[in-house]
Amino acid sequence: MFRDKDVLSLEGKVAVVTGGASGIGRATCELLAEYGAKVAILDINEELGKKAEEEIVKNGGQAFFIKNNVVSREDCERAVNIIKDKYGRIDILFNNAGVTKRKTVVNLEESEWDFVVDVTLKGAYLMSKYVIPVMAEGGGGSIINTGSGWGLKGGDDAAAYCAAKGGIVNLTRAMAIDHGKQNIRVNSINPGDTNTPLLRDEGRQLGIDDEEFLKLSAAGRPLERLGTPRDIANAVLFFASDLSTWITGAALVVDGGGLA
């Protein structure tokens, strides 16, 4: 028997996506808009952010772009105030912005460590800091943080990335405990290698040809392929929707079986 209400529907909800101009973030903005959400696209790349907004609106969705640097407290507070003024609420926050440097601790420069940890981990903290009071005023909501398979196990030549993503996974648990009383659910998705500009850039950092690196990244997975941005966006939709109303503090692995 079909339900009268689509439990995946996001009609009337407002979603905020950091790193929303490309890759997983872009795919998630598109999918959340398809399911009815009003989407605020946050990214430091103004050109790609505006293109994402235009494409979503052209396809009948509701979206608008805000240029945002998640490392900046002022930028994060300003973005949240703009969204609150425009829509009066925030129901979904997808802390997705992240970067990587493929180096060991010996080879990493201090500035590179700071860059990776700040964008990935501090950015999630700052956006959550300003979104949570707005979300609580509206009766609750869902926060989804992008971790990684390498936030649950180690990886080679990626010390700062592994540290930052491990931090995301446990920050998620701590936030779930702190804000459950406000009816705010906090979960992490932990992708395996996904065919995005970020993954291809990793290969270049390691001196490996794009096509060869993508083949190496897909090798050994039970499902025998890389993830697509849409694969990951589907997991975000699950946590954003009413299908996951009694799930919080979880770390969902979305990796084609790579950690199996």
Active site residues: 161
Q: What is the CA radius of gyration of the chain?
A: 18
Q: Tell me which residue of 221, 224, 219, 101 sits closest to 156, measured CA to CA.
A: 101
* CA quadruple 192, 198, 201, 206: dihedral sign: negative
| Contact by Cβ (8 Å): 20, 67 | no
Please give the single-letter amino acid code of residue 13.
K
d(CA 37, CA 166): 29
Interior CA angle at 250 toward 77 and 115, to 5°?
A: 45
How many CA atoms does the CB half-sphere of 43 hold within 13 Å? 25
Give one word for 8, left, alpha or beta, with left for phi > 0 and alpha for psi -120 to 50: alpha
Other beta carbons within 10 Å of 245: 12
Strand partners, 249: none
Structure tokens at 47: 């050109």
The DSSP line for 39-60 is EEEEES-HHHHHHHHHHHHHTT
Please give the single-letter amino acid code of residue 121.
L
d(CA 253, CA 151): 10
- Which run of H or E residues covers position 17? strand 14-18
